[in-house]
Amino acid sequence: MAKDIKTYHEQTFIEDTLRLREILTTLPAFAKDYFRAMEPTTSAKTRISYAYDIRTFFYFLVECNPLYRDRSTTQFTLEDLDQLSSVDIEEYLEYLKVYESSENKQITNSEQGLARKMSALRSFYGYFFKRQAIEKNPTLLVDMPKLHEKAIVRLDTDEVAILLDYIETCGSQLTGQKKVYYEKTKYRDLAIITLLLGTGIRISECVGLDINDVDFKNNGVKVTRKGGNEMVVYFGREVEKALRDYLELTRKNITPLPDHENALFLSTQRKRMGVQAVENMVKKYAKQVTPNKKITPHKLRSTYGTSLYKETGDIYLVADVLGHKDVNTTKKHYAAIDESRRRQAASAVKLREE
């Protein structure tokens, strides 16, 4: 009987579900109702993030509120939630800026981190308030942290070409074990980065690809989007060449470990590459080419989205290809003022006659 090999996304779902159950054992019993209710509309990863954030709130109460000094995080009740005021929530926001985790690690939160944790707490309180399990919702009386716009980091057109050229040729600068490792991974690394730059797929979608997800007849890859929807994303000749070279010159010569036979991209340990491995690989190459830009796989996605919008001017196409459910998310990132126009301002105003 043939062995049933689970897909990357099936295996990830199982691991995330078990992880969530483990975190829930450290929360009050009533919290399970909230996470059960949000299951149909959220991914397991989202619920895990919320569970960690809610647990941080209960850690704060135990650590900083004298009324709960002798409690554990599992001993809180809905009556305790009802006793808290907006001042308690404000103190929690202040606490989140710098605090120590249960593993005695110092944690800091950016504006985005504060907003996410506050959003999680609002949602948590809102669930029980809506169902009349509590009488007050003090989170609504506290302003959400102000978010300042950040400059979107992406590669310029010439930097994309330099990066790909560097991956193809940097072996000539290496010796010893570094050169051996480079030669083993060159075509794989070039295929991954070319694919990310040429399609804009997410890193989780990239590492989740199986060999049979690549369709050279139509030049497309079948990816599993956030929420579990499958979609074919099409690619051009450069991505096709990089993928064919990798499959022909590297992948077919590797015997994967059991349960990793279908994976498209394999590590040197002959296992499916993980998210962190791809992040480290992108960082390794990018810092040699653009040391002043912190380039991640998500920045390669932004680079593709920007290029596609500049070429087509079609924000709805960009949203569809990137898998954005809300086109406003796409508009916010890609329909801003063209960077090249902003650069014209640098030479438009003369301070002194030459």
Say which CATH number the domain at 115 has: 1.10.150.130
Distances (CA, A) of 101 to 63, 159, 272: 11, 39, 31
Output the pLDDT for position 66: 93
Question: Domain check: are 188 and 330 in the same one?
Answer: yes
Q: CA 31 to CA 80: how far, in whole Å?
A: 13
Q: CA 154 to CA 325: how far, in whole Å?
A: 22
Question: Domain check: are 183 and 296 in the same one?
Answer: yes
Question: Domain check: are 37 and 183 in the same one?
Answer: no
Range of the structural domain that residue 280 is part of: 157-336
Would you say residue 2 lies in a domain?
no
Would you say residue 352 lies in a domain?
no
Question: Domain check: are 123 and 256 in the same one?
Answer: no
Q: CA 139 to CA 142: how far, in whole Å?
A: 5
Question: Domain check: are 115 and 174 in the same one?
Answer: no
Output the pLDDT for position 119: 96
Residue with structure tokens 């019993």? 29
Question: Domain check: are 167 and 103 in the same one?
Answer: no
Output the pLDDT for position 1: 42
Instruction: Identify each DSSP E strand in the chain by its residue range.
Output: 98-100, 106-108, 214-215, 220-224, 230-234
Would you say residue 146 lies in a domain?
no
> Residue 15, exposed/middle/buried by CB under 10 A (0-12, 13-18, 19+)?
exposed
pLDDT in tens, 221-241: 999 988 778 999 999 999 999
Question: Domain check: are 204 and 116 in the same one?
Answer: no
Would you say residue 208 lies in a domain?
yes
Nearest Cα residue to 85 out of 28, 17, 11, 141 = 141
Question: Domain check: are 191 and 58 in the same one?
Answer: no
Neighbouring residues of 339: CB distance < 8 A, sequence distance ≥ 6: none
Cβ atoms of 52 and 20 within 8 Å: the answer is: no
The structural domain count of the chain equals: 2
Question: Domain check: are 77 and 175 in the same one?
Answer: no
Would you say residue 243 lies in a domain?
yes
Would you say residue 152 lies in a domain?
no
Q: Write out residues in the chain with pLDDT < 70, as ranges.
A: 1-4, 335-354
Question: Domain check: are 232 and 129 in the same one?
Answer: no
Cβ atoms of 221 and 232 within 8 Å: the answer is: yes
Question: Domain check: are 168 and 237 in the same one?
Answer: yes
Output the pLDDT for position 149: 75
Task: Give the global pTM.
Answer: 0.84
Would you say residue 353 lies in a domain?
no
Q: CA 93 to CA 118: how far, in whole Å?
A: 8
